[in-house]
Amino acid sequence: MAKAQSMPNRDYNASVLNKRMRGWVLAGSVTLFAIVLLVLWLAPFAYMVSTSLKTQQQISDPTSPLWPSAADQFEYEGQSLDILVVPVNSENPAWHDVNGDEFQDAGEASVEPGVYTLALVTPGREDGVFVNPADPEAGAIHWIGRWRALEADWQFAPQWANYAEAWELPSRPFTFATLLLNTFAIAFFGIIGTIISCTLVAYGFSRFRIPGKGFLFLLLVSTIFLPRIVVTVPTYALFVRFGWVGTWLPLILPHFFANAYNVFWLRQYLMTIPREMDEAAMIDGAGPLQILWYVIVPQLMPAIITVALFHMVFAFRDYFEPLIYLSTRPELQPISVGIQQFNAIFGQRPALIQTVALMGLVLPVLIFFLAQRAFTRGIVFTGVEK
């Protein structure tokens, strides 16, 4: 009887173990797939960082490693010699110069077979004279082979001076610091206008009874699908009549009149705030603006910070409008346009091009990490209606 009862228990334990194994395999597969996607997604960024720390010699050498390195060199008799990786074997023999001007025969080679890092003293056509940096007193080494096919001895050496050079090198009529300051100023004033205007419009759509409010909101949201290129020409003509071309006004003032995307975003968040809080404030004698300032805005802060981050990213990425409105005033251009001048200057130096691009990413990435918690809250709660 006991034996008959133990059989179902064994089957049950085996079934539970199989389910756990399948769960572990599934979880491991999903994790591995996510890691592969993350590596592929970060590969361009890793390439940018690595290239920005390389020397021009390493970039032009196809045999150089992927990480930032510099070809090792050795000072010998007042000369800076390149250190190469030299294989010594029966096909590429090497021996010491012990007779002064004449080398020993190949059959009397005194260099043991192996792979050596030697400094090239005298390059020949099908041979070369080397010296061992570890033991230069041993004399010259004659090696038979094509020294041009030898690989350099690369040592990890990030070139942090690339960042200092890119920062200090002027590009008339601006420097990189000027571009960064211009971008920050445009983004800052644009964020103020976006937050004020979009918050007021979203507050009106979510809290007030307006005739035709549904149609007006639908009309506002439909402008998201309007191609930007359609309104470019009439908008440019309007700003020309205002005399704003060549200033920051076309890039800042339009954001003080709200935009559909941010209004929709803030309205959805406002719908999650109970109206009972508004009614309690009204009983205490608060007006609509006081309710907005003292009741709504503190709870709306995660969504406001999210809108500010989105606009900051937009200001750093916007290229077309600054290009057409500030083409005659390059000293006012933001980093998205002015960085093209740096690309032209550093056209033959890819390391500095990647350096400038990476420097342009520092400020928005830093701000994003500082506001990450509020940004995540704004993403999670927006669209969740209580």
pLDDT tens by residue, 290-309: 999 998 998 888 889 889 98
Across 234-238, 255-259, 334-338, 341-345, least confident range: 341-345
Tokens for 122, please give them. 């005298």
The pLDDT value given to residue 94: 81
- Which one is predicted more confidently, 328 or 369? 328
Helix (H, G, I), strand (E, B) or coil at 350: helix
65 has pLDDT over 50: yes
Write the DSSP string, 83-105: EEEEEESSSS-EEE--BTTBPPP
How many Cα atoms occupy the beta-carbon half-sphere of 374 within 13 Å? 17
- pLDDT single digits (tens) 189-208: 999 999 999 999 999 999 88
Residue 162 scores a pLDDT above 80: yes
Whether pTM exceeds 0.85: no
Closest CA to 179 of 366, 349, 363: 363
Tell me the mean pLDDT in the region 228-252: 91
CA-CA distance, 347 to 169, in Å (whole number)?
14
pLDDT at 192: 95
Q: Is the peptide bond before 322 cis (omega within 30 degrees of 0)?
A: no
Closest C-alpha among 143, 155, 154 to residue 86: 143
Eight-state DSSP code of residue 256: G
- Quick one: pLDDT at residue 56? 86
- What DSSP character marks residue 294? I
Q: Is the pLDDT of residue 182 over 70?
A: yes
Q: Smallest Cα–Cα separation from 96: which of 131, 140, 64?
A: 140
Q: What are phi and psi of 127, to 5 degrees?
A: -155, -175
The continuous run of DSSP H or E covering 303 comes out as helix 297-317
Q: Work out the pLDDT band at 382, boundaries 50, 70, 90.
A: very low
Percentage of the residues of the chain whose pLDDT score is greater than 90: 22
Question: Average pLDDT in the 92-113 region?
Answer: 64
Is-cis flag, bond preceding 93, omega within 30?
A: no
- Kindly tell me the burial class for residue 261, based on how many C-beta atoms sit within 10 Å of its own C-beta (0-12, 13-18, 19 or more): middle
Report the pLDDT value the prediction gives residue 228, as an integer from 0 to 100: 83
What mean pLDDT value characterizes the chain? Answer: 83
- Determine the pLDDT at residue 170: 63
pLDDT confidence bin for 384, thresholds 50/70/90: very low
Reduced to 3 states (helix: H, G, I; strand: E, B; else coil), residue 196 is: helix
Q: Indicate if the pLDDT at residue 386 is higher than 50.
A: no
